[in-house]
């Protein structure tokens, strides 16, 4: 019998990227083949995101153009997975008749059954959330490469008032430390060199045992020891829960990257309270200062929302002030988008669209200037990069990344191969990219614990 081909597209955050690998792991076990061409597929899946209105609009657009494939091949099954599936449930099928199945993030184990229902001409809907599902035992389907993502926990209990994630991903739950370490060991054997541990708030990671409890710092310490030549990153940290223990752990292990994504969202205490972020600007700035003392050279990125309900000009200036104080290495900046079902949705979305856009542009400009200045300061310094491949813009250059997550471009050299660690001297910088010259190779053994620039 001919095997069924599945094609999947992934939208949204890295958790969705990791989930797509879990979905493909489940389907491959059932005999499906993965294809990268939608026109060859028997099943097309969209793993979707609901975080902002425009994320959903994009997916509606995509469903619209996949319709034509469905006309050509009426047996084709079109499925919506991920956060939009969870948020809109049956409405998605009622509204978009071409959609055959809607399966939320905690029901992927049953996906093969829902697809079979659709093959038999019915519609399938699986949107129950779970308090326990972590897909601990599923082997994700990963292409060979350098970088990988591992979800170490699912869900979120923070309920920031603007955010749909607690509704689309359900309650917080963690995977066992042992299953994560086993996955890291396998990635190490396959030659992966850069692994990011994922969770909406990794600092609430817990693996509970009767006699001892393992927290996120313990998990990171264990992860760092699997293979010293493998860099370990993590995202996202909520500023309320980032512990001193975690900072000391990062400082102690050279392969735990000196990079923390620490979303601030706003620089105004009044807005932070309305957002239910549960920290103040003072707490946040203290944390940054402490982290910089404990982890010399640590870099920070952040998320910022502009135009949250009732945000005044002064609130906006307070956000810019925080950006100038922290001097982030990078930022993801968004216009507030009201999401039905969240607490903020009931607040009046009173900041006009043009004002939101203007404030967002100002924030982007400030960050651009800071990134530029910070990168300029690195000219003349030596950095260790992990070589990732040819530069996107030119085959005469290769691209690598520092452990602080900055991209460095170096002229092609036959000595340098993908996956090598090399020392480079920075000679030029823009706001988004560093340029350097090759100095030497750095050998890092799996057991190594000391790496110096």
Tell me whether the omega of the peptide bond preceding residue 236 falls within 30 degrees of 0, making it cis: yes
Judged by CB under 6 A, does residue 11 bind ligand SAH? no
- Which of ligand SAH, ligand F3S, ligand SF4, none does residue 52 bind to, with CB < 5 to 8 Å depending on kind? ligand SAH
For residue 440, list its beta bridge partners. Answer: 423
42 or 56: CB nearest ligand F3S: 56
For residue 383, list its beta bridge partners. Answer: 424
Among 51, 195, 272, 291, binds ligand F3S (CB under 6 A): 51
Instruction: Give the nearest distance from C-beta 147 to ligand SF4 in angstroms.
Output: 22
- Which of ligand SAH, ligand SF4, ligand F3S, none does residue 166 bind to, with CB < 5 to 8 Å depending on kind? ligand SF4
49 or 125: CB nearest ligand F3S: 49
Judged by CB under 6 A, does residue 200 bind ligand SAH? yes
Q: How many CB atoms within 10 Å of residue 152?
A: 25
Among 166, 199, 309, 436, binds ligand SF4 (CB under 6 A): 166
For residue 44, list its beta bridge partners. Answer: 7, 78
Judged by CB under 6 A, does residue 173 bind ligand SF4? no
Judged by CB under 6 A, does residue 359 bind ligand SAH? no
DSSP character string of 297-361? T-EEEEEEEE--TT--HHHHHHHHHHHHHH--SEEEEEE----TTSGGGGS---S-HHHHHHHHH
End-to-end CA separation in angstroms for the chain: 57
Instruction: Give the nearest distance from C-beta 163 to ligand SAH in angstroms.
Output: 4
Judged by CB under 6 A, does residue 305 bind ligand F3S? no
Helical residues (DSSP H) of 190-327, grouped into ranges: 216-224, 244-252, 269-274, 281-294, 313-326
Judged by CB under 6 A, does residue 266 bind ligand F3S? no
Residue 297 region, left (φ>0) first, then alpha (ψ -120 to 50), else beta?
left
Among 59, 76, 82, 117, binds ligand F3S (CB under 6 A): 82
Among 201, 249, 299, 319, binds ligand SF4 (CB under 6 A): 201
Q: How far apart are the C-alpha atoms of 263 and 278, rounded to whole Å?
A: 13
Instruction: Give the nearest distance from C-beta 154 to ligand SAH in angstroms.
Output: 12
Q: How far is CA 439 from the centre of its chain?
A: 32
User: Which tokens belong to 330?
Assistant: 């990078």
Cα–Cα separations (whole angstroms), residue 16 to 55, 281, 411 = 13, 30, 34
Judged by CB under 6 A, does residue 238 bind ligand SF4? yes
- Which of ligand SF4, ligand SAH, ligand F3S, none does residue 83 bind to, with CB < 5 to 8 Å depending on kind? ligand F3S
Query: Which residues in this chain contact ligand F3S in the complex, by CB under 6 A?
Result: 12-13, 15-16, 49-51, 82-83, 164-165, 168-169
Residue numbers at the binding site for ligand SF4 (CB under 6 A): 156, 158-160, 163, 165-166, 200-201, 238
């Amino acid at each position: 019998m001919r095997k069924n081909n599945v094609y999947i597209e992934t939208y949204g955050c890295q958790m969705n990227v990791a989930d797509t690998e879990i979905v493909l792991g489940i389907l491959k076990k059932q005999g499906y083949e993965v294809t990268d061409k939608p026109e060859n597929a028997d099943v097309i899946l969209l793993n979707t995101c609901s975080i902002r209105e425009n994320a959903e609009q994009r997916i509606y657009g995509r469903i619209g153009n996949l319709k034509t494939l469905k006309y050509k091949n009426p047996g084709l099954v079109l499925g919506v997975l991920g956060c939009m599936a969870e948020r809109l449930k049956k409405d998605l099928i009622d509204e978009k008749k071409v959609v055959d199945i809607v399966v939320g993030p905690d029901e992927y184990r049953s996906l093969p059954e829902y697809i079979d229902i659709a093959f038999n001409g019915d519609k399938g809907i699986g949107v129950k959330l779970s308090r326990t599902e972590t897909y601990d035992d599923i082997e994700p389907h990963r292409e060979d490469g350098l970088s990988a993502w591992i979800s170490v926990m699912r869900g979120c209990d923070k309920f920031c008032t603007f955010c749909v994630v607690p509704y689309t991903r359900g309650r917080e739950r963690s995977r066992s430390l042992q299953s994560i370490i086993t996955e890291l060991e396998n990635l190490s054997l396959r030659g992966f060199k850069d692994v990011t541990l994922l969770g909406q708030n990794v600092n609430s990671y817990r693996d509970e045992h009767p006699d001892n409890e393992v927290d996120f710092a313990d998990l990171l310490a264990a992860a760092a020891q699997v293979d010293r030549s493998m860099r370990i990153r993590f995202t996202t940290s909520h500023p309320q829960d980032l512990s001193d223990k975690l900072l000391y752990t990062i400082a102690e292990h050279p392969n735990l990257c000196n990079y923390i994504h620490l979303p601030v969202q706003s620089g105004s205490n009044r807005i932070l309270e309305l957002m239910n972020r549960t920290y103040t600007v003072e707490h946040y700035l203290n944390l940054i200062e402490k982290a910089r003392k404990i982890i010399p050279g640590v870099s920070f990125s952040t998320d910022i929302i502009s135009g949250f309900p009732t945000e005044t000009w002064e609130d906006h200036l307070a956000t810019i002030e925080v950006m100038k104080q922290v001097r982030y290495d990078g930022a993801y900046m968004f216009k507030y988008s009201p999401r039905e079902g969240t607490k903020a949705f009931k607040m009046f979305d009173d900041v006009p669209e043009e004002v939101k856009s203007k404030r967002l542009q100002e924030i982007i400009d400030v960050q651009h200037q800071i990134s530029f200045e910070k990168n300029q300061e690195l000219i003349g310094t030596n950095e260790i990069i992990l070589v990732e491949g040819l530069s996107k813009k030119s085959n005469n250059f290769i691209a690598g990344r520092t452990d602080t997550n900055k991209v460095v471009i170096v002229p092609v050299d036959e000595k340098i191969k993908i996956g090598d660690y090399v020392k480079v001297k920075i000679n030029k910088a823009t706001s988004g990219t560093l340029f350097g010259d090759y100095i030497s190779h750095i050998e890092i053994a799996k057991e190594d614990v000391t790496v110096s620039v």
